[in-house]
Structure 1
Amino acid sequence: MAERGQTKFQIDLRRHLREQAVDRNLTRLITEIAEASKYIINSIRTGDLGVAGTSNLYGEQQLALDVLADRILEKRLKYSGVVASLVSEESGDILRFHPEQEGPYYSVAYDPLDGSSLVDVNLAVGTIVSIYAGDNLLQPGRQQVAALYILYGPRTTLMYSTGNGVHEFAMNQLMEYSLVQEHVRIDGGSGIYSPGGQRNLYTPGTEAFVRSLEERGYKLRYSGGFVPDINQVMIKGKGVFLYPHLQNRPRGKLRLLYELNPMAFLVEQAGGAASDGHRPILDLVPQKIDDCAPVFIGCREDVAAAEACIAAQG
């Protein structure tokens, strides 16, 4: 088993998927997403940082990079020949296709450039992807067959899982993904916390939970980007991220389909947990493509403590 920093055999992503006995069509899909990321990272480095003059489904002003990253991924997924339907955080509708390849086909929900508003100040951003078998995207996240994220930071890294642990890859000088470590684990212990949302709008249970973390010496590490903050928990192997229900936003901010389900799948595969404060994120049943939910995600012990505080104080 390769450990972090030890890539003696330079195992690339396609080879690793093959060795994990991942279905051929799913392998094709994941490697197409990896290929798309090469064009996205080039766009981040050289592209227009201005607004696109359009809004997404949620009324949020789209940046030119949002639109470009969305188009890059949509094109790669459409022509992969193995996608039956897809939906992006930047679009308002599910797109449906007729898969051209024989064998299993898949549906994909993705956030093409999470944290894009951080690009102009040169902070890390990422792509988040959720994959289901068949053509139905409105399923509980536990039905995912794969999930991954790509982090565009000082290095470009990719974390994926097909239900057999979480594996980390880094883009090398040839812009190919090489294995960094297998079976990434969140083992727990005191550490870091990343709290989203305005604290003066926290409910009593969430406020009590955050105070308990501070009293135990947890360090606040919040970048404003979901991908880098979750990656921090994954790589450090400890800590918790939260974007809770707020007094004026009881359903939270983050989207179930594009953000929470894939991250919850990855974190659970790494031994962690993800909850809306009452139940696992992966058990929630989406009713619409724009459903949101609160989230407490990371170390199992920390997520359980959050649930206990919310049960006791609301």
Structure 2
Amino acid sequence: MSAATSACARAIVATKKTTAARRAGKSATRATPRSVAARAGGAGTPFTTWILQQEMEEKIDGELAVVLSSIGLACKQIASLVQRAGLQGMTGLAGETNVQGEDQKKLDVISNDVFCDVLRQTGRTGVIASEEEDVPVAVEETFGGNYVVVFDPLDGSSNIDAAVSTGSIWGIYESDSTCIPDFGTEDAAKIEEKCVMNVCQPGNNLLCAGYCMYSSSTILVLTLGEGVYGFTLDPTVGEFIMSHDNIKVPESGKIYSFNEGNYDMWTPGLKKYMDSLKTGGAEQGTKPYSARYIGSLVGDFHRTILYGGIYGYPGDSKNPNGKLRLLYECAPMSFIAEQAGGMGSTGKERVLDVVPEKFHQRVPFFTGSKKEVQYLESFM
């Protein structure tokens, strides 16, 4: 077992104990972010106002409010970059590969820098972990909060040159106070170990998760633990405005989103499931399901929670665990899906229950309408 893996394993025990203790010790006057109901405001409310309303009602603290505002700023900056990419030479490859061995697009690198910069500047983020970075990074500028933010700065970037929708995904955890790096006394190896311990938390510990989709409009969707809310960027005022109040995914749907090009590498059970969709799914003999696959997780997921159905990126004989990352993609999206009344599953277990063994871990991923995901699980 590698040092990083063993650190992750130790972190789970420490995190569960400290999280339980913190939650038990919260005073009645300060609710946890998970309890937020977002009763204040509704359709038409600016994102910054909505955040302040949550803070005024003591649903979140001021430090988390600053982190959320900074993420909103990062999304605005990336949206602008995506819109101008073809005009300013930001399309194409950057000439580098990330830690997973994937070719990085120029906008991957730029978007990662944007997220890292705004999160450092808040002073409230203790550890940041990006899909594009080799290891989690401790933030020396932190003077309060010490929140842990994990993110995929530009999901679906392989589509960017064709102007297909892309997006950013993030999740926010509370830092374990026993794992906060001490830059004055600890060496680099110890600091890195503490960063790994802070990041390797199961999705059940998420305080917030969200994504921003860059398409015909720029839409920011997030949950603070009770309900899912969507905000559309109004370019005339430069602000996200609430456009989706308390999103609920339909219990079932007739749309599936899988890359069927990998069909021959799937398990027999998954092939049987896919074949059944073409004859009505659980209701055999009814209208076949419609196939809709963009190839961008954020775009496919957003359509799925609005219209219902199922999105899947399964494992196959070439990639047994699929290609989506647990920390940066699957766990945040599963948290959102569950808060909207849907599900997030590996095909065999709830994604939010999966304990990370390493920070770039991949898992098979299925999400969407509850009945559709349950139907898929019956074949797995």
Shorter-chain TM-score above 0.5: yes
TM-score grouping bracket, smaller chain normalisation: over 0.9
Instruction: Give the secondary structure class of the aligned counterpart of 2:68.
Output: helix
Measured against aligned partners, the alpha-carbon deviations of 1:209-264 in whole angstroms (never above 9, x if no partner) come to 2122221121100000000000001122x110001111222111100011101000
1:287 equivalenced with 2:287 (yes/no)? no
Q: After TM superposition, give the deviation of residue 101 of structure 1 in Å.
A: 4.2
Task: Work out the percentage of aligned pairs sharing the same amino acid.
Answer: 32
- Inter-partner Cα distance in structure 2 for 1:100 and 1:250: 39
- How many aligned positions are there? 303
Q: CA deviation at 1:161?
A: 0.4
| Residue of structure 1 equivalent to 2:135 | 93
Q: What is the distance in 1 between the residues matched to 2:355 and 2:322?
A: 16
Aligned to 2:237: 174
Q: CA deviation at 1:98?
A: 4.0
TM-score, normalised via structure 2 length: 0.77
2:153 match: 112
1:17-68 deviation per Cα after TM superposition (whole angstroms, max 9, x unaligned): 2333222111111110110112111211223102111110011111111000
Task: Check conservation: 2:305, 2:369, Cα contact below 8 A.
Answer: no
Q: Is the 8 A contact 2:126 2:142 kept in 1?
A: no
CA RMSD of the aligned region, Å? 1.6
**Aligned equivalent of 1:274:** 344
- The C-alpha deviation readout for 1:129-161, integer Å capped at 9, x for no partner, is 011001511011110000000000000000000
The structure with the larger Rg is 2
Q: 1:55-107: CA deviations, max 9, x gaps?
A: 100111111110000001100001111101011111101100246444x3310
Matched, 1:230 2:301: yes
1:152 counterpart = 2:214: yes
Of 7, 16, 21, the residue aligned with 2:50 is 16
Work out which of the residue numbers 162, 181, 184 in structure 2 matches 1:121.
Answer: 162
Mapped to 2, the partners of 1:227 and 1:287 lie a distance apart of 25
1:68 is matched with 110
The TM-score normalised by the length of structure 1 is 0.93
Separation in 2, partners of 1:214, 1:23: 49
Structure 1 runs of 4+ aligned residues shifted over 3 Å read 98-102
Moved more, 227-236 or 14-23: 14-23
Partner of 2:377: 307
Q: Which runs of 5+ in 1 are unaligned?
A: none
Q: Is the 8 A contact 2:119 2:125 kept in 1?
A: yes
Amino acid at match of 2:253: S
Alignment of 1:201 with 2:265, yes or no, is: yes
Aligned mates of 2:268, 2:337 — CA distance in 1: 26
- Could you report, residue by residue, the CA deviation over 1:169-220 in whole angstroms, capped at 9, with x for unpaired residues? 0000222000012210012233211003611111111111212222112110
Higher helix share: 2
Query: Residue in 2 aligned with 1:35?
Result: 73
CA distance in 1, matches of 2:252, 2:171: 29
